[in-house]
Amino acid sequence: MQNPLLELRRPIPFDQIREEHMEPAVRALLAEATAAIDAIAASQGPYTYDSTLGALERSSEKLELVMSLIEHLESVSTTPALRAAYNAVLPDVSALWSSIPLNPGLWRVLVEFSNTPEAAALEPTRRRFLDKTLADFRRSGAQLDSDKKEQLKAIDRELSLITTRFSQNVLDSSNEFEILVEDEAGLAGLPDSAKQAARDNAQHKGKSGYRFTLQAPSLTAVLTHADDRGFREQIWRAQNTRATSGEHDNRPIVAKILELRKAKANVLGFRDFADFQLDDRMAKTGADAKRFIDELRERTESAFERENRELFSFRKELEGESAPALEPWDVTYYAEKLRRARFALDEEELRAYFPAELALKGAFTLAERLYDVRIEPVSGVPVWDPEVRAYRLLDSANVELGTFYVDLYPRETKRSGAWMHGLVAAVPPAANLAVFCLNASPPAGGKPSLLLHRDVETLFHEFGHLLHHCLSRVSVRSLAGTRVAQDFVELPSQIMENWCSEREALDLFARHYETNEPLPTVLLSRMNAARTFRAANMQMRQLGFAAVDLALHIDYSPEKDGDVLAYARDILQKHAVAPFPEDYAMLAGFLHLFGHPVGYAAGYYSYKWAEVLDADAFGRFKEEGVLSRSVGLQFRDRVLARGDSQDPMDLFVAFRGRKPRVDALLKRQGLG
Ligand SMILES: [Zn+2]
């Protein structure tokens, strides 16, 4: 049988790949990769780069590409047969990946190679690849004796079970909750769309009236708009005491997860789980991440208090001098009222200036201006849907750096959201291959697809990931493109969002879809003013989560600190507007930290870290020209082209001339 997945060439024959090709191709390539890896592990010296790391890189290249294509097709044009094929092969493929750093033969070969004169004289990118590979193996326990290895395996097994249990408890206890409101009068304040959704929800469950749940849209609508404070309180309390009783009690589970993570870090020779997690990140240690969070909090506190005083005064304006202090379930509600009073920003009016096609062209034009590249359509390339288009990205010498597909509109077979998928991270002179997906509302009734401003930012964000992937010029595939530290990977994407609020950049693409007028200055300034509304509160909320995450994974000890929920509540309270009730237990529903063996554990800080990086890096454009090609070319050469071939802090310093500072972020937020 001809199987196109076994003889892939460019362009990828998307018109020929069928579900029935998938499992046989993966099985064949799995066997090939396993045999290649076994051969390296069993090989005898003398060892060279090519016979060790080089061979390891090659061993799974075809398998990676085919898995990447299947995963991609599962996201953009899934069918039950495709999903079945994917699910059938996934466990074996994952097992192969996770077995690599635990393979004692491979470890022996790599260590022996690392002691050769060739290894000592490797050029810097290959040297880094060797060091990082050895470190990855060590982080998986390759250097441990067999007792310790068994201990580690047992910890990992238990962590995987118990974090799954945590997630299920959150899901189950959330799903058990509902509020049924019989009378529409009880829904005062809620927008019609939220009422309609609640009515549909009740009907769907065979009930009368309006049904509210802890699902995000329902919860947010009540906390933001419901005039009935008792209604808001009821749903807020339910949300913040999820999974704290009965058979779905996560409280003992949180303590157990922390204990297991600490034990894992200790077995591997780290002081605590934060140091273990951050060892291969830009932040390097838990202490560094903590210092960063502390500094940002100190610089945010006074604005935070000012915003809180303003909010309370606003309540008194509405309800008189005797208005009671704000409770946790009042904050979002009054903040929304204040926002409306301050900013008459009509998102729909703004939308008319952001046709999706123009925004996409705008991202292209910006990349061409800044990075001296050219983006041109490619015709006659097989695609998975007739709406999908392909483009080529070329440098000024007409060398093709990458090809990418653009898939803009939703389909039933496509997952929701926006993303960039790097199909092939290539080593020069080969070209990269990528997919760029959005789910913009399709053109309808003679109107083009119009984006909200935040959707334009999302488009630019994902396009930034795409540029990071396609502009990569790294000579080792495993270190290429977006395969960088978790607290660095959002710099190339988030920096792109900055241009969406700059006049000079907006003039490249923001045009009214009927009149072709550029975005009026009054709309732009209103838009930019609205962005800083209650910025200190939003920041403190994120900092609270980051602080609690680090404290739990660095400092917390049950003997010294007692009940883990009370410990977390004390920390979160310092970042909140209103006093929490005694039973406040946000931690018991904190999926980011506890819903996965690793997830965002000890990594929540990276959201803010990335914002600091992107604001500070963009600061150079602000200083030297928002559309400056010379700054752009430096960003391309010193950051975008480098992947993980150098330490991310060195890349940042090479571009910015110094280490990151928080000032630019505070300024952008109107806080500094
Ligand atoms: Zn991103």
- Angle between helix axes 229-239 and 216-225 (nearest 10 degrees) is 140
Per-residue pLDDT tens over the stretch 215-231: 888 999 999 999 999 99
Band of pLDDT at residue 349, cut at 50, 70 and 90: confident
* Dihedral over Cα of 111, 114, 118, 123: its sign: positive
What is the model's pLDDT at position 446?
Answer: 87
What is the model's pLDDT at position 301?
Answer: 97
Q: How far, in Å, from the CA of 269 to the mean position of ligand 1? A: 32
Per-residue pLDDT tens over the stretch 435-485: 999 999 888 888 899 999 999 999 999 999 999 999 999 999 999 999 999
Helix (H, G, I), strand (E, B) or coil at 210: strand
Mean local confidence (pLDDT), 241-264: 96
Q: How far, in Å, from the CA of 458 to the mean position of ligand 1? A: 9
Q: How far, in Å, from the CA of 425 to the mean position of ligand 1? A: 17
Helix (H, G, I), strand (E, B) or coil at 616: helix
Q: How far, in Å, from the CA of 611 to the mean position of ligand 1? A: 11
With a cut of 70, say whether residue 143 has pLDDT above it: yes
Q: How far, in Å, from the CA of 262 to the mean position of ligand 1? A: 29
DSSP letter for 52, please.
I
Measure Cα distances from 10 to 15, 30, 33, 607, 663 in Å. 13, 22, 22, 37, 46
Band of pLDDT at residue 656, cut at 50, 70 and 90: very high
Measure Cα distances from 104 to 146, 268, 308 in Å. 11, 16, 58
Q: How far, in Å, from the CA of 302 to the mean position of ligand 1? A: 30
What is the rounded distance in angstroms from the CA atom of residue 73 to the CA atom of residue 67?
10
Closest CA to 462 of 432, 433, 421, 425: 421
Contact 508, 349 (CB under 8 A): no
What is the rounded distance in angstroms from the CA atom of residue 175 to the CA atom of residue 211?
12
Band of pLDDT at residue 203, cut at 50, 70 and 90: very high
What is the rounded distance in angstroms from the CA atom of residue 310 to the CA atom of residue 441?
37
Q: How far, in Å, from the CA of 490 to the mean position of ligand 1? A: 5
Cβ-in-10-Å burial (0-12, 13-18, 19+) of 428 comes to: middle
What one-character-per-residue DSSP string does 284-321 give?
-SHHHHHHHHHHHHHHHHHHHHHHHHHHHHHHHHHH-T
Contact 496, 461 (CB under 8 A): yes
Q: How far, in Å, from the CA of 491 to the mean position of ligand 1? A: 8
Mean local confidence (pLDDT), 147-166: 95
With a cut of 70, say whether residue 1 has pLDDT above it: no
What is the rounded distance in angstroms from the CA atom of residue 465 to the CA atom of residue 492?
6
With a cut of 80, say whether residue 344 has pLDDT above it: no
Measure Cα distances from 316 to 73, 323, 324 in Å. 55, 6, 8
What is the rounded distance in angstroms from the CA atom of residue 550 to the CA atom of residue 78?
39
Q: How far, in Å, from the CA of 411 to the mean position of ligand 1? A: 22
Pairing mode, strands 373-378 and 389-395: antiparallel
Mean local confidence (pLDDT), 37-51: 96
What is the rounded distance in angstroms from the CA atom of residue 668 to the CA atom of residue 654?
23
What one-character-per-residue DSSP string does 376-439 give?
EEE-S---SSTT-EEEEEEETT--EEEEEEEE-S--TTS-SS-EEEEEE-PPTTSPEEEEEE--
Pairing mode, strands 400-407 and 432-437: parallel
What is the rounded distance in angstroms from the CA atom of residue 261 to the CA atom of residue 488?
24
Average pLDDT, the chain: 96
Residue 348 vs residue 614, higher pLDDT:
614
Measure Cα distances from 80 to 66, 73, 144, 412, 421 in Å. 19, 12, 43, 13, 22
Contact 321, 313 (CB under 8 A): no
Q: What are phi and psi of 283, to 5 degrees?
A: -70, -25
Share above pLDDT 90 across residues of the chain, in percent, rounded to a whole number: 94
Q: What radius of gyration, in Å, describes the C-alpha atoms of the chain?
A: 27
Q: How far, in Å, from the CA of 607 to the mean position of ligand 1? A: 10
Partnered with residue 436 across adjacent β-strands are 406, 420
What is the rounded distance in angstroms from the CA atom of residue 68 to the CA atom of residue 435?
11
Active site residue 32: no
Per-residue pLDDT tens over the stretch 495-526: 999 999 999 999 999 999 999 999 999 999 98
> Which one of the listed residues 462, 490, 497, 611 is annotated catalytic?
462
Contact 378, 403 (CB under 8 A): yes
What is the model's pLDDT at position 345?
Answer: 76
Per-residue pLDDT tens over the stretch 527-583: 888 889 999 999 999 999 999 999 999 999 999 999 999 999 999 999 999 999 999
Closest CA to 258 of 544, 551, 586, 560: 551
What is the model's pLDDT at position 631?
Answer: 98
Q: How far, in Å, from the CA of 612 to the mean position of ligand 1? A: 15
Q: How far, in Å, from the CA of 263 to the mean position of ligand 1? A: 32
What is the model's pLDDT at position 444?
Answer: 85
Closest CA to 174 of 141, 209, 219: 219
Q: How far, in Å, from the CA of 604 to the mean position of ligand 1? A: 15
Is residue 429 reached through a cis peptide bond, with omega within 30 degrees of 0 on the bond before it?
Answer: yes
Per-residue pLDDT tens over the stretch 126-137: 999 999 999 999
Helices (H), 140-205: 146-176, 192-204
Closest CA to 453 of 359, 536, 520, 575: 359
What is the rounded distance in angstroms from the CA atom of residue 457 to the CA atom of residue 175?
33
Mean local confidence (pLDDT), 247-255: 96
What is the rounded distance in angstroms from the CA atom of residue 65 to the CA atom of residue 525?
46
